[in-house]
């Protein structure tokens, strides 16, 4: 791809990449410095320009087909005794809406949208690469059938359930408080799983396992308990549907090696990108929403990301 940073509003054509040489993740004599490349454009325009087999790990978190526009308002509270909320020490506060971030999440035929992108994910994976698809119960079963066809049923390794416990609780059904993350390997006999790099979590009943084990903690199962990004926390970018860094750090650490090249082509606020770069991997991040790209550019400024704009291919 071109390494030229994009000027204001000027589309930069991204030329196709050369095919990688050799098998497996490319091994360079000198590890390339970790860095981030952010691309503004429809991923279906960008993906064909990326070389076969050139990514060790691909994570995507596409829109979930909620049928709604995903919005997140950014608010500021100011002290005002006539205000609409009571806050610290009983003082009254007024809410000022600073702006709103949003993207559309409505699809007539979700699988038709996803399918060609899944095919690219398969093509782009290195021979020992892994693919993670983050969805929820609305579409995951259709997507799994699609991935089984594209990757092969035996390439399915795990379904990870990310369970959280935050927000409104329905009184007419069990509150839906989990997402589904499917893991496929390009080759089910050869993939990266760095067991020793798995973070440890506390035992539920530490009294049953003895002090040494209790102190060390245990490795998680395929159900990962992790709270959502706190609306008040430091991690928050204000982008709707931002995923917690802890989830993505675990995926990056366990399923890739330092120096590897990673890809997220529904990148949003760049949570996967931050996890990748902080763990000494390099990453390509694609999103069609200029607000997402602006957030990623700021969020990853410590890594001096290259930002590119991909103009649509002529019809
Ligand atoms: C669920 S959000 C990703 C959130 C992200 N994982 C995070 O932690 O912030 C899905 C993203 O996909 C982007 N998107 C939807 N369709 C796209 C397309 N065709 N090409 C590129 N990006 C797309 C949206 O703009 C949105 O930012």
CB under 8 Å to 64, separation ≥6 — which residues?
105, 135, 136, 138, 139, 241
Q: Are strands 36-40 and 282-287 parallel, antiparallel or unpaired?
A: parallel
The three-class DSSP label of residue 149 is helix
Q: Do 62 and 84 belong to one domain?
A: no
- pTM, 2 dp: 0.83
CATH of the domain at 224: 3.40.50.150
Q: Is residue 286 part of a domain?
A: yes
Q: Is residue 296 part of a domain?
A: yes
Q: Do 83 and 140 belong to one domain?
A: no
d(CA 276, ligand 1 centre) in Å: 17
146 touches 114 (CB < 8 A): yes
- Mean pLDDT per 10-residue section of the chain, whose length is 315 residues: 36 50 50 79 97 98 75 60 66 62 70 95 98 95 96 98 93 96 98 98 94 96 95 90 97 98 98 98 97 97 95 67
Q: Do 60 and 134 belong to one domain?
A: yes
109 CB neighbour count, 10 Å cutoff: 9
Q: Is residue 147 part of a domain?
A: yes
Q: Is the CB of 287 under 6 A from ligand 1?
A: yes
Q: Do 276 and 287 belong to one domain?
A: yes
Q: Do 186 and 80 belong to one domain?
A: no
Q: Do 251 and 211 belong to one domain?
A: yes
Whole domain around residue 58: which residue ranges?
31-67+106-309
Q: Is residue 18 part of a domain?
A: no
- Output Rg (C-alpha) for the chain, integer angstroms: 21
Task: Provide the domain count of the chain.
Answer: 2
Q: Do 35 and 132 belong to one domain?
A: yes
pLDDT of residue 79: 73
Could you give the CA distance from residue 268 to residue 286 in angstroms, rounded to a whole number?
A: 8
pLDDT of residue 9: 34
Q: Is residue 3 part of a domain?
A: no
Q: Do 151 and 75 belong to one domain?
A: no
d(CA 70, ligand 1 centre) in Å: 11
Q: Is the CB of 268 under 6 A from ligand 1?
A: yes
Q: Do 169 and 295 belong to one domain?
A: yes
Q: Where are the beta strands (DSSP E) in 87-193?
A: 92-105, 125-135, 156-163, 178-185
Q: Which two tokens stand for residue 136?
A: 């929820």
pLDDT of residue 8: 33
Q: Is residue 98 part of a domain?
A: yes
Q: Do 41 and 140 belong to one domain?
A: yes
Q: Is the CB of 244 under 6 A from ligand 1?
A: no
Beta bridge partners of 161: 180, 223
Q: Which two tokens stand for residue 153?
A: 């049923």
Q: Whose CA is nearest to atom 27 of ligand 1?
A: 268
Could you give the CA distance from residue 243 to residue 226 in angstroms, rounded to a whole number?
A: 10
Q: Do 271 and 199 belong to one domain?
A: yes
The three-class DSSP label of residue 73 is strand
Q: Do 215 and 292 belong to one domain?
A: yes
Q: Is residue 138 part of a domain?
A: yes
Among 102, 125, 153, the domain-final residue is: 102
Could you give the CA distance from residue 271 to residue 254 in angstroms, rounded to a whole number?
A: 16
Q: Whose CA is nearest to atom 22 of ligand 1?
A: 287
Q: Is residue 167 part of a domain?
A: yes
> Sign of the C-alpha dihedral, residues 18, 21, 23, 25?
negative
Counting beta carbons within 10 angstroms of the beta carbon of residue 274, is it exposed (0 to 12), middle (13 to 18) or buried (19 or more)? buried
Q: Are strands 85-86 and 306-309 parallel, antiparallel or unpaired?
A: unpaired
Best residue among 109, 266, 270 to mutate for probing ligand 1, ranked by most atoms within 8 Å of CB? 266
**DSSP symbols for 12-68:** ---PPPPPPPSSSS---SSPPPP-EEEEES-HHHHGGGSPTT-EEEEEE------SE
């Amino acid at each position: 791809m071109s390494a030229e940073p994009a000027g204001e509003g000027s589309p930069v054509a991204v030329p196709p990449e050369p095919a990688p040489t050799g098998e497996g993740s490319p091994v360079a004599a000198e590890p390339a410095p970790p860095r981030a490349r952010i691309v503004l454009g429809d991923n279906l325009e960008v993906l064909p320009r990326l070389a076969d087999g050139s990514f060790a790990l691909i994570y995507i978190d596409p829109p979930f087909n909620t049928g709604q526009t995903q919005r997140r308002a950014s608010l500021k509270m100011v002290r005002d005794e006539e205000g609409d909320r009571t806050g610290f020490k009983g003082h009254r506060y007024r809410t000022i809406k600073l702006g709103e971030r949003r993207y559309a999440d409505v699809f007539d035929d979700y699988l038709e949208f996803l399918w060609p992108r899944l095919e690219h994910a398969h093509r782009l994976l290195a021979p020992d690469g892994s693919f993670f698809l983050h969805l929820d119960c609305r579409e995951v079963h259709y997507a799994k059938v699609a991935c089984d066809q594209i990757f092969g049923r035996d390439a399915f390794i795990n379904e990870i359930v990310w369970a959280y416990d935050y927000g409104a609780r329905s009184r007419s059904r069990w509150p839906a408080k989990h997402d589904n993350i499917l893991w496929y390997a390009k080759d089910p006999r050869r993939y990266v799983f760095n067991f020793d790099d798995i973070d440890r979590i506390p035992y539920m009943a530490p009294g049953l396992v003895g002090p040494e084990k209790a102190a060390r903690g245990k490795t998680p199962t395929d159900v990962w308990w992790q709270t959502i990004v706190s609306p008040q926390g430091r991690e928050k970018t204000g982008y709707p549907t931002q995923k917690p860094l802890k989830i993505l750090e675990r995926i990056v650490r366990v399923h890739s090696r330092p120096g590897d090249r990673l890809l997220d082509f529904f990148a949003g606020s760049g949570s996967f990108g931050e996890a990748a770069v902080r763990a000494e991997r390099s990453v390509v991040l694609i999103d069609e929403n200029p607000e997402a790209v602006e957030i990623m550019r700021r969020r990853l400024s410590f890594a001096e990301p290259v930002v590119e704009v991909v103009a649509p291919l002529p019809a």
